[in-house]
Amino acid sequence: MTKYCVAYANLFDNEIIQKVVEATDKLDAVVVAGHATTEEKQSWSNIEEMEQYFFDGDSLISVIELQ
């Protein structure tokens, strides 16, 4: 497992939440951090689609791998 930092910002209250999680990949890290469900993850085939999904819901998300 790899460590990731997941940063989430809701554009309604302009609050940024960052969580460090262990996951198998970046898409899974969003689910482990609690910002999406497994069913939502299945609709994304890459990071760009995941980011667009959150943007369409008036939020932003970023996932980086920690070393």
- Output the CA torsion sign for 66, 43, 36, 53: positive
- pLDDT, tens digit (0-9, with 9 covering 90-100), for 14-65: 899 999 999 999 999 999 999 999 999 999 999 999 999 999 999 999 999 9
Q: How confident is the model at residue 67 (pLDDT cuts 50, 70, 90)?
A: confident
**Rounded to an integer, what is the distance from CA 63 to the centroid of its chain?**
6
Model confidence, pTM = 0.89
Angstrom CA distances, 52 to 15, 28, 37, 65, stand at: 19, 16, 16, 20
CA 2 – CA 39 distance, rounded (Å)? 22
